[in-house]
Amino acid sequence: MRRVFALLISLGLILFFVNSLSILPEYGNVELSKVSNAYINKSVNGNNEKVKFGESKDLEDGAANVVTSIVVDYRSFDTLGEVTVLFTSALGVGLILHGFKRKTYGRLPNFILRVSVGILLPLILLFGVYVFVHGHLTPGGGFPGGTIIAAGILLLYLSNEEFDLSKTSKFVESYAGSLYIVVGLVGLAIGGVFLINFLPTGVVGDLFSAGIVPIVYILIGFKVGAELSGVIADLYREG
Amino acid sequence: MITVGYFLIAFGAFFYFLGGLGILRMPDVYNRLQAGTKATTLGSFSVILGVGLVNLDYLPKALVIIAFIALTNPVGSSVLARASYLKGIKPTDKTKVDEYKGGDEK
């Protein structure tokens, strides 16, 4: 009976995948509404001209990644709220698990793990930094980049029983969060709107473009990485 | 080149299938771990290299991804196997040699 069910479920999944893949529109041949075109051409207030990668200059928002231009520019206030949600959950974990001693096993961690951490950790941290520095150009950004960095920190926790980062992570987290709000307040002082994109946006596709978007994403990357490292440190304390 | 790429993707998919079959059929944790990581490592290598050959723009990225998988996958499976051994999960009765008896020295 179990096998029949398993077979039915896999058949259903296969049908679902084939169905949803076959109705995908052809690459580059999608009919978009006016609103989505306004966001893609980065001219919500403007005249809706087509954006050319590597050529268009001084748009409302210079991020080549459309998602990033919406998340960190058009609705950056909402992202501030998202960061706060993450902060609250980290706070909750810290509150519940506060006071527990860190678990020790009385034996050295895996030899293979200890050796490979030395090779892997710089690469993982580098990749995380790459993901959030290039958040306005490629898929990714502050949240995935910070999570990748936290995964590297987890590797350190697994391979070294003495390693502790809780103080540093709290420090980095609070400073990154405050700087995000400071960026917003500077926008309020210059442009009259909280979190407005007050820097020049440059050419679409350049590393130094998109105004405050890379700055905010770097701050979010540090904040999310520190927060998730703090959560890992708290969870590792479980008696 | 594109034909070779598609062949490699099909080859990798076949090894993914073998890995899934191994997880279903193997008798204990350690054998399943081996099937789930060894077969899928080769499967991932072939699929990613195949994608790189089909679209040559992706080839450098594909090679880097292959290097990362080669670095991380064995470490992960080794850590899992060691953790389950030290937790006290017994191998099947068919296992004759156990060179890791008692864990490593303190």
Average confidence score pLDDT of chain A: 83
The Cβ of residue A165 has, within 10 Å, a number of other Cβ atoms equal to: 16
Q: Cβ contacts (< 8 Å) between A161 and chain B: which residues?
A: none
B29: Cβ–Cβ under 8 A, 6 or more apart, which residues? B81, B84, B89, B91
CB A221 within 8 A of CB A132: yes
Give the pLDDT confidence score for residue A10 in this predicted structure.
93
Q: DSSP readout, B60-75?
A: HHHHHHHHHHHHHHHH
Q: Cβ contacts (< 8 Å) between A107 and chain B: which residues?
A: 103-104, 106
Point out the residue among B71, B79, B103 whose CB comes nearest to the CB of A120. B71
Q: Cβ contacts (< 8 Å) between B72 and chain A: which residues?
A: 120
The Cβ of residue A46 has, within 10 Å, a number of other Cβ atoms equal to: 11
Give the pLDDT confidence score for residue A30 in this predicted structure.
79
Give the pLDDT confidence score for residue A19 in this predicted structure.
92
CB A220 within 8 A of CB A141: yes
Q: DSSP readout, chain A?
A: -HHHHHHHHHHHHHHHHHHHHHTPPPTT-----HHHHHHHTT-SSS--PPP-TTT-BS-S---SSHHHIIIIIITHHHHHHHHHHHHHHHHHHHHHTTTPPPP--SSPPPHHHHHHHHHHHHHHHHHHHHHHHTTTTSS--HHHHHHHHHHHHHHHHHH-SS---HHHHHHHHHHHHHHHHHHHHHHHHHHSSTT---S---BTT-SS-STTHHHHHHHHHHHHHHHHHHHHHHHTT--
Chain B residue with minimum CA distance to A109 = B79
Q: Do B103 and A107 touch (CB under 8 A)?
A: yes
Confidence band of B13 (pLDDT split at 50, 70, 90):
very high
The residue with tokens 């540093």 is: A168
Give the pLDDT confidence score for residue A164 in this predicted structure.
76
pLDDT digits (tens), chain A, 239 positions: 888 999 999 999 999 999 998 888 887 777 888 888 778 777 777 777 777 777 777 777 777 888 888 888 888 888 888 888 988 988 888 888 877 777 777 777 778 888 888 888 998 999 899 988 888 888 888 889 999 999 988 888 888 877 777 778 888 888 888 888 888 888 888 877 887 877 877 777 777 777 788 888 888 888 888 888 888 888 877 65
- The count of residues in chain B is 106
Give the pLDDT confidence score for residue A171 in this predicted structure.
85
Nearest alpha carbon to residue B77 among B42, B24, B29: B29
Give the CA count within 13 Å in the CB-facing half-sphere of A222. Answer: 18
Give the pLDDT confidence score for residue B85 in this predicted structure.
84
Q: What mean pLDDT do residues B76-91 have?
A: 84
Q: Do A116 and B68 touch (CB under 8 A)?
A: no
Checking if the pLDDT of B106 tops 70, the result is no
Angle at CA of residue A24, ends A22 and A29, nearest 5°: 135
CB A47 within 8 A of CB A34: no
Confidence band of B103 (pLDDT split at 50, 70, 90):
low
Q: Do B78 and A107 touch (CB under 8 A)?
A: no
Checking if the pLDDT of B102 tops 90, the result is no
| Chain segment B26-73, per-residue pLDDT in tens | 888 888 888 888 888 889 999 999 999 998 888 999 999 999 888 888
Q: What are phi and psi of A203, to 5 degrees?
A: -85, 135
Give the pLDDT confidence score for residue A3 in this predicted structure.
87
Widest Cα–Cα separation across chain A: 68
* Amino acid sitting at position A46: G
| Chain segment A186-239, per-residue pLDDT in tens | 888 887 788 787 787 777 777 777 778 888 888 888 888 888 888 888 887 765
